């Protein structure tokens, strides 16, 4: 009998075993390819996978093993310090962050992806400030999920028998820890994941798979040096020490995540920000490079939607629920809802120090949403002189909602122009 021809079943074995008949007996044996080269089969797969991800439009790709993230204890300290504020979905899933297995059962590897979103052309001067990532009017989750789907479908076709799951943002996964492990960059003092070539204007996403792959070297150095530009520039002092952000003091949190009014002493710091905040990235020297930006090609997050770049606070107060839904249903603003956006607009107007804006705020003070009324009364009190005292007193008599009553009372007591 001659030497049998090995019948290699890569689908069954992930390339790690050969299976063949020897004297009519089915034999499983470690693959000589794998044995002689360590992880050669996996190297090939990793390279191809990266190529597929890049073809789908991702700008950064790295691969790391599914392990307990290094920063897990730091997440616990962060939660215990109350830095998550009202974002209790993080606390609720505290244990799930221990291992990516809780996101995808049987996961062995994470393909960590980055998608750049800032166009090299500076946006036109706007009436108010909207975070760069939202200026396209597209919801980045939708854009990224579409790309993840393209990659997943192609990988499932080519690597039959393996499973993939795409995640962005919402899974209990410390995305920046895994990005660092996958070699994409380091976490700066502003807590952003920064790449030496691509800066930090990019989103992260991950494809989790039960396929074992060849892994990138973790990014083990930090390149912030003695710089403290982000800490110095943060208007609400949210970066409480290098690498630690008190989420409950961040403008991004106040304008997008929180359902409440920001603490009185931090409202001034919100300045002109209607949605999100970019300051700690704008001042970062790693974002000065041309390569941190992308072309505003069609469909890219870097394209500016004039509906956003020409938006004014006054226009926002003219939108009822139906109008707001029609205009913003598919945009990042939808997360804050109409009441959140109008609350933010009232704070921006209050910060402008211009009493001619009071009539717009008076419209907002009649809004059906208590949060909007409360923010408007605050702004009226801040902008107003003695002239608004009678208006606020009357409003207090008519108002029944406790949150709004408190804001009016505070203005009646503390506003500079008010008779004491």
Q: Interface with ligand B12 by CB under 6 A: which range of 5-13, 197-205, 286-294, 404-412?
A: 197-205
**Choice from 33, 72, 90, 227 touching ligand SF4 (CB under 6 A):** 227
Instruction: Give the C-alpha separation, 64 to 183, whole Å.
Output: 8
Q: Is residue 347 a contact residue for ligand SF4 (CB under 6 A)?
A: no
Instruction: Give the C-alpha separation, 186 to 125, whole Å.
Output: 31
Among candidate residues 257, 256, 260, the one with its CA nearest the CA of residue 274: 256
As measured in angstroms, the least distance from the Cβ of 239 to ligand B12 is: 7
DSSP state of 247: G
Choosing among ligand B12, ligand SF4, none, which partner's interface includes residue 224 (Cβ < 5 to 8 Å by kind)? Answer: ligand SF4
Instruction: Give the C-alpha separation, 73 to 95, whole Å.
Output: 11
Number of helices (H), then strands (E), belonging to the chain: the values are 19, 12
Instruction: Give the C-alpha separation, 71 to 244, whole Å.
Output: 12
Residue 19 or 233: which CB sits closer to ligand B12?
A: 233
In three-state secondary structure terms, 257 is helix
Site track 221-260 with ligand B12 (rule: CB under 6 A), x = hit: ----------------------xxx-x--x-xx---x---
CA distances from 408 to 137, 260, 265, 405 (A): 34, 16, 16, 5
Q: Which entry of 88, 142, 169, 321 is annotated as an active-site residue?
A: 169
Q: Is residue 244 a contact residue for ligand SF4 (CB under 6 A)?
A: no
**Choice from 118, 224, 379, 382 touching ligand SF4 (CB under 6 A):** 224
Among candidate residues 167, 192, 72, 56, the one with its CA nearest the CA of residue 110: 167
Choosing among ligand SF4, ligand B12, none, which partner's interface includes residue 243 (Cβ < 5 to 8 Å by kind)? Answer: ligand B12
Q: Interface with ligand SF4 by CB under 6 A: which range of 15-23, 52-60, 159-167, 283-291?
A: 283-291
**DSSP per residue, 36-78:** HHSSHHHHHHHHHHHHHHHHTT-SEEEEEE----TTHHHHHHH
In three-state secondary structure terms, 164 is strand
| Residue 139 falls in the annotated catalytic set | no
Q: Is the dihedral of CA 280, 283, 286, 289 positive or negative?
A: positive
Choosing among ligand B12, ligand SF4, none, which partner's interface includes residue 71 (Cβ < 5 to 8 Å by kind)? Answer: ligand B12
Asked whether the beta carbons of 367 and 342 are under 8 A apart, the reply is yes
Q: Is residue 294 a contact residue for ligand SF4 (CB under 6 A)?
A: no
**DSSP per residue, 339-358:** HHHHHHHHHHHHTTT-GGGH
**Choice from 128, 171, 238, 379 touching ligand SF4 (CB under 6 A):** 238
Q: Is residue 278 a contact residue for ligand B12 (CB under 6 A)?
A: yes
Choosing among ligand SF4, ligand B12, none, which partner's interface includes residue 229 (Cβ < 5 to 8 Å by kind)? Answer: ligand SF4
Q: Is residue 355 a contact residue for ligand B12 (CB under 6 A)?
A: no
Residue nearest ligand SF4, Cβ-based: 188
**Choice from 183, 276, 332, 350 touching ligand B12 (CB under 6 A):** 276
Residue 201 or 377: which CB sits closer to ligand SF4?
A: 201
Choosing among ligand B12, ligand SF4, none, which partner's interface includes residue 279 (Cβ < 5 to 8 Å by kind)? Answer: ligand SF4
Instruction: Give the C-alpha separation, 178 to 95, whole Å.
Output: 17
Residue 193 or 301: which CB sits closer to ligand B12?
A: 193
Find how far residue 278's CA is from the centre of its chain: 12
Instruction: Give the C-alpha separation, 344 to 311, whole Å.
Output: 13
Binding site for ligand B12 (CB under 6 A): 71, 74-75, 78, 87, 131, 133, 168-169, 173-177, 187, 190-193, 200, 202-204, 243-245, 247, 250, 252-253, 257, 276-278, 280
Q: Tell me the catalytic residues.
A: 169
């Amino acid at each position: 009998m001659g030497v049998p021809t090995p019948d290699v079943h890569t689908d069954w074995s992930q390339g790690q075993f050969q299976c063949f008949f020897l004297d009519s007996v089915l034999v499983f044996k470690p693959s000589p390819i794998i044995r002689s080269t360590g992880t050669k089969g996996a190297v090939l797969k990793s390279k191809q996978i990266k190529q597929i991800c890049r073809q789908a439009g991702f700008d950064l790709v790295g691969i790391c093993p599914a392990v307990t993230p290094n920063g897990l204890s730091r997440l616990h300290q962060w939660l215990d310090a109350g830095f998550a504020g009202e974002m209790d979905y993080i606390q609720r899933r505290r244990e799930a962050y221990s291992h990516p297995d809780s996101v995808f059962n049987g996961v062995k590897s994470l393909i960590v992806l980055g998608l750049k979103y800032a166009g090299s052309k500076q946006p036109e001067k706007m009436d108010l400030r909207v975070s760069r990532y939202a200026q396209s009017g597209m919801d980045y989750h939708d854009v990224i999920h579409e790309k993840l789907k393209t990659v997943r479908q192609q990988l499932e076709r080519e690597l039959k028998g393996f499973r993939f799951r795409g995640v962005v943002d919402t899974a209990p996964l410390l995305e920046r820890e895994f990005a660092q492990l996958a070699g994409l960059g380091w976490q700066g003092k502003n807590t952003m994941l920064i790449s030496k070539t691509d800066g930090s204007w990019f989103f992260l996403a991950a494809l989790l798979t039960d396929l074992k792959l060849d892994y990138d070297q973790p990014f083990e150095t930090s390149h912030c040096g003695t710089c403290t530009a982000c800490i110095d520039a943060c208007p609400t002092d949210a970066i409480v020490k290098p690498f630690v952000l008190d989420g409950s003091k961040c403008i991004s949190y106040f304008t997008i995540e929180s359902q409440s009014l920001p603490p009185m002493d931090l409202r001034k710091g919100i300045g002109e920000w209607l949605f999100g905040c970019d300051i700690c990235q704008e001042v970062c020297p790693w974002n000065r490079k041309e390569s941190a930006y992308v072309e505003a090609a069609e469909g890219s997050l870097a394209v500016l939607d004039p509906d956003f770049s020409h938006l004014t606070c006054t226009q926002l107060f003219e939108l009822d629920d139906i109008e707001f839904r029609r205009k913003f249903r598919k945009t990042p603003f939808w997360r804050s809802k109409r009441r959140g956006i109008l609350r933010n607009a009232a704070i921006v107007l209050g910060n402008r120090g211009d009493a001619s804006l009071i009539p717009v705020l008076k419209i907002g003070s009649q809004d059906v949403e208590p949060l909007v009324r409360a923010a408007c009364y605050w702004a009226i009190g801040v902008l107003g002189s003695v002239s608004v005292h009678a208006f606020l007193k009357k409003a207090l008599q008519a108002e029944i909602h406790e949150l709004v009553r408190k804001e009016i009372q505070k203005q009646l007591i503390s506003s500079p122009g008010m008779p004491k």
